[in-house]
A and B are shown apart, each in its own frame.
Chain A
Amino acid sequence: MKKRRLFMRTIILLVLGAAVAYSLYANLTKDDNQKVAAGDQAPDFALVDMQGNKHRLSDYRGQGVFLNFWGTWCPPCKKEMPYINNQYHQYKDKGVQVLSIDIQEPELAVNQFAERLKLDFPIMIDKEKEVMNVYGIDLLPATFLIDPKGKVVKYYTGQLTENKIKEFMEQIKP
């Protein structure tokens, strides 16, 4: 009788405890608003760059991918572009690629931006905002570091310094 009472109470408390724990966990993670966070597999996507080449994320398995989201109206995006360009040249033969995605702006604006800043890495326009949705982009600039296995190593928002970019690229070097 005693054991049964202990058993019943323990079960009930465990069920209640689990419900409480789940609610707290769900609440804490929902506020993060993070659709894709460090540790998740990077969602695959395919976009065509300004030169007409199609880039599919999964094609870059085996290499690190520096995935950057930006817009011309975002001053920190503009500031960090030359740094990204520099490091792109440093690391493209070391197995780190840069994929740059502009959020739904006219081609004219993106082309002029790229020409003016003399950017050499592939730039794609997310015309339907689909990639942006899937990655849960809210603040710009947003950078995802993806390792050679396709896993997100880091998600960074805010302007990057050249040193930080270098550090990041080292991290995802194969």
Chain B
Amino acid sequence: MKDVKCECGHVNPHGTVLCEACGKVLDEQEKDNKELLDMRYEGSARRSQTYNKTIIDKIWNFFSSVKVGVWLIIIILVASIFGTILPQEMYINLPPDIYYEQEYGWFGKLYYQLGLHDLYGSWWYLLLIAMLGTSLVICSLDRVVPLYKALKVQRVTRHEGYLKRQRIFGVNTHIDSTDMISVKKHLKERRYHIREENGDLLAEKGRFSRWGPYVNHVGLIIFLIGGMLRFIPGFYVNENLWIKEGETAVIPETGEKYYLKNTKFILQHYDKNKDKTFEKAIEEAGQVVKNYQSNTVLYKRVSKNLPGETPELKKIKEFKVRVNHPLTFVGYSIFQSSFRSELKAMTFNLTNKKTTQAYGEVKIDLEDPKAKYDLGNGYSVEILNYFPDFEFNKDGEPSTKSRVPNNPAFIFRMTAPDKPKGETSFVAIKQTIEPFGENQYKMKFQGIQTKNVSGFTVRKDSSLWVIILGGIIFMIGVMQGAYWNHRRVWIQRKKGQVWIAAHTNKNWYGLKKEIDTVLTGTNIKVPEDQLQVDNADNHKDKGGV
């Protein structure tokens, strides 16, 4: 596998088709061909086409294939479509093993069993994306390195064979020096960079646009890296946090370092008298919320204590969190996301059913009820059982669904001087059951007290800037490659004649028009488009420019 030395003196890597310096056809097979040269990659030796010995080479060559890349894209596209058929796991509220079968029957069950409910996080999907990323890297490297080298090393003077087999080519027997000056002036006006050597001329512009596709691939790779960063613990946090008014809670995923206190939740509606502009709309819609706000205090733990022990907190700042106005600190953002009202306390009066006389008020704190409430004079109430979220369970017994006081129920024992052993009464919302026969006393419901609970979203995203950067670089690469073209015009002395050849990577029509403009006012014959000549000869109409 030896390097090839061209007759012009330049040493080319093995496998080079066209000499990097002068463009002479080096490949034995290509030499006898009369067709137009394949100018992609400047005829340089794409490494993957030439070496295929070790397993490393084989892997490399597999990933450097555009065909493979395109197939990967198609497979990923089709796979992604599958994830949109039924809602993904992260958007449903029930456990997945129940939800899919319940909502979608046999299809749902199958969907769940195949793992399609968590498609975008599945190992095989990630593997596909990783393979695409690998393909991006290797495709780019495999092509850009030889291309860069070839474009850098190219000489002004080109080999005959090279010029003859360019798509745009023409022969002039002679060119006046005035015409040459005119041509050079026109080329300069059209912003070509002109190099001359031994009476030969190379006019080139827009070489930077060749790198456009590689720049946009770099952008894509950075984008994928940004996505990967999200897996690193601590880079991406997206949690819910519910805090009752007056309470302080530890902020999740902050390493137990930060605490948030909710001092007050405020809900404001538009007032149709005050906000006259919206009067009509409010009348139609009813109550429209103007502001969801939680007044908060941020604390930092200063003690080195264990979970479970009361921490020592230092106040950092106060902040009124409103919708879209989060509290921010060290990369975290706390958004006002939701709220609910929770029952805080229930008040009952111990009442004699017949005389309707009340013997005392019992205010029960639903978060921390007392076992016994002594009302004096021999009257007392005990809570034998407390069910914050009452329901009758499968066996018909009273039990609680959760620890949240959504539907409080009690089993009271009411003790009175005339009922020293006490009477038992089961009391739920709008329900009183006397399990042991008719009672003399009852717990009469007086009222409730509610407390607001604020719902916050805790978010941290250190990967976002990487993703945005990747996106920007991608767009730059697209523009770079799409809006400019790499054009070269050779005007060279060969065999006593003056040969003109030209090449562009895109937009041949534009190049031809430009050459026409450059050559106006001169006696120089405009070079032909050899592709169209060939097609005309073959009576084929390709139509493309």
Give A contacts to B, CB under 8 Å: 1-2, 5-6, 9-10, 12-13, 16, 19-20, 22-24, 26-28, 30-31, 43-47, 56, 71-73, 75, 103-109, 111-112, 124, 126, 128-131, 133-134
Contact assessment for A24 and B59 in the assembled complex, using a CB-CB cutoff below 8 Å: no
- Interface size class for chain B? 35 or more
What would 26 A/B residue contacts be, using CB atoms closer than 8 Å? A6-B54, A9-B56, A10-B56, A13-B56, A16-B133, A24-B126, A24-B130, A30-B231, A31-B121, A45-B307, A46-B306, A46-B308, A46-B309, A73-B389, A73-B402, A75-B399, A103-B403, A106-B369, A108-B370, A108-B371, A112-B384, A126-B308, A129-B250, A130-B308, A131-B307, A134-B256
Residues of A within 8 A of B141 (CB): 12
Q: Are A112 and B306 CB-contacts (below 8 A) given A5-B47, A20-B134?
A: no
Contact assessment for B368 and A107 in the assembled complex, using a CB-CB cutoff below 8 Å: yes
B386 contacts partner chain A, Cβ-Cβ < 8 Å: yes
Contact assessment for B127 and A20 in the assembled complex, using a CB-CB cutoff below 8 Å: yes
B123 contacts partner chain A, Cβ-Cβ < 8 Å: yes
**Given A20-B131, A22-B228, A43-B307; 14 other pairs, CB 8 A cutoff:** A12-B141, A19-B133, A24-B126, A26-B231, A27-B123, A45-B306, A45-B308, A45-B309, A46-B309, A72-B403, A73-B399, A106-B369, A131-B308, A134-B256
Residues of A within 8 A of B51 (CB): 5
Q: Determine the distance from Cα of A103 to Cα of B249 in the docked complex, in whole angstroms.
A: 15
Q: Are A22 and B371 CB-contacts (below 8 A) given A12-B137, A71-B403?
A: no
Q: Determine the distance from Cα of A10 to Cα of B137 in the docked complex, in whole angstroms.
A: 14
Q: Determine the distance from Cα of A73 to Cα of B369 in the docked complex, in whole angstroms.
A: 17
Q: Taking CB as reference atom, which chain B residue is nearest A112?
A: B385
Q: Taking CB as reference atom, which chain A residue is nearest B405?
A: A106
**What is the minimal beta-carbon distance from B255 to any residue of chain A, in angstroms?**
10
B506 contacts partner chain A, Cβ-Cβ < 8 Å: no
Q: Taking CB as reference atom, which chain A residue is nearest B402?
A: A73
Q: Are A19 and B308 CB-contacts (below 8 A) given A10-B56, A103-B403, A130-B250?
A: no
Contact assessment for A130 and B307 in the assembled complex, using a CB-CB cutoff below 8 Å: yes
Residues of B within 8 A of A134 (CB): 256, 307
**What is the minimal beta-carbon distance from B132 to any residue of chain A, in angstroms?**
11
**What is the minimal beta-carbon distance from A113 to any residue of chain B, in angstroms?**
10
Residues of B within 8 A of A19 (CB): 130, 133, 225, 228
Contact assessment for A22 and B123 in the assembled complex, using a CB-CB cutoff below 8 Å: no
Residues of A within 8 A of B118 (CB): 31
Residues of B within 8 A of A1 (CB): 3
Contact assessment for A28 and B123 in the assembled complex, using a CB-CB cutoff below 8 Å: yes
Contact assessment for A106 and B368 in the assembled complex, using a CB-CB cutoff below 8 Å: yes
The 10 closest A-B pairs by CB, nearest first: A26-B231, A130-B307, A20-B130, A47-B308, A45-B308, A45-B307, A73-B400, A46-B306, A134-B307, A46-B309
**What is the minimal beta-carbon distance from B235 to any residue of chain A, in angstroms?**
10
Residues of A within 8 A of B57 (CB): 6, 9
Q: Determine the distance from Cα of A13 to Cα of B130 in the docked complex, in whole angstroms.
A: 12
Q: B residues 127-179 with Cβ under 8 Å of A?
A: 127, 130-131, 133-134, 137-138, 141
**What is the minimal beta-carbon distance from A158 to any residue of chain B, in angstroms?**
14
Residues of A within 8 A of B438 (CB): none
Contact assessment for B308 and A9 in the assembled complex, using a CB-CB cutoff below 8 Å: no
Q: Taking CB as reference atom, which chain A residue is nearest B50?
A: A5
**What is the minimal beta-carbon distance from A99 to any residue of chain B, in angstroms?**
11
B1 contacts partner chain A, Cβ-Cβ < 8 Å: yes
Q: Are A108 and B368 CB-contacts (below 8 A) given A45-B306, A46-B308?
A: yes
Q: Determine the distance from Cα of A157 to Cα of B208 in the docked complex, in whole angstroms.
A: 61
Residues of A within 8 A of B56 (CB): 6, 9-10, 13
Residues of B within 8 A of A43 (CB): 307
**What is the minimal beta-carbon distance from B73 to any residue of chain A, in angstroms?**
17
B307, B383, B389: the one contacting A108 at CB < 8 Å is B383
Contact assessment for A23 and B228 in the assembled complex, using a CB-CB cutoff below 8 Å: yes
**What is the minimal beta-carbon distance from B256 to any residue of chain A, in angstroms?**
7
Q: Taking CB as reference atom, which chain B residue is nearest A15?
A: B137
Q: Determine the distance from Cα of A12 to Cα of B141 in the docked complex, in whole angstroms.
A: 10
Q: Determine the distance from Cα of A129 to Cα of B386 in the docked complex, in whole angstroms.
A: 21
Q: Determine the distance from Cα of A109 to Cα of B276 in the docked complex, in whole angstroms.
A: 52
Residues of A within 8 A of B121 (CB): 27, 31
B318 contacts partner chain A, Cβ-Cβ < 8 Å: no
Q: Determine the distance from Cα of A12 to Cα of B134 in the docked complex, in whole angstroms.
A: 10
How does the 8 Å CB contact mask read for B385-429 relative to A, with 1 for contact and 0 for none?
110110001000001111100000000000000000000000000
Residues of A within 8 A of B388 (CB): 73, 106, 109
Residues of A within 8 A of B250 (CB): 128-130, 133
How does the 8 Å CB contact mask read for B325-347 relative to A, with 1 for contact and 0 for none?
00000000000000000000000
How does the 8 Å CB contact mask read for B367-381 relative to A, with 1 for contact and 0 for none?
111110000000000
B94 contacts partner chain A, Cβ-Cβ < 8 Å: no
Q: Determine the distance from Cα of A131 to Cα of B123 in the docked complex, in whole angstroms.
A: 31
B81 contacts partner chain A, Cβ-Cβ < 8 Å: no
Q: Determine the distance from Cα of A111 to Cα of B369 in the docked complex, in whole angstroms.
A: 12
Q: Determine the distance from Cα of A18 to Cα of B3 in the docked complex, in whole angstroms.
A: 34
B360 contacts partner chain A, Cβ-Cβ < 8 Å: no
Residues of B within 8 A of A20 (CB): 127, 130-131, 133-134
Residues of A within 8 A of B256 (CB): 130, 133-134
**What is the minimal beta-carbon distance from A111 to any residue of chain B, in angstroms?**
7
B299 contacts partner chain A, Cβ-Cβ < 8 Å: no
Residues of A within 8 A of B47 (CB): 5
Q: Taking CB as reference atom, which chain B residue is nearest A27?
A: B126
Contact assessment for A75 and B403 in the assembled complex, using a CB-CB cutoff below 8 Å: no
**What is the minimal beta-carbon distance from B424 to any residue of chain A, in angstroms?**
15
How does the 8 Å CB contact mask read for B40-80 relative to A, with 1 for contact and 0 for none?
00000001000100101101100000000000000000000
Q: Taking CB as reference atom, which chain A residue is nearest B130?
A: A20
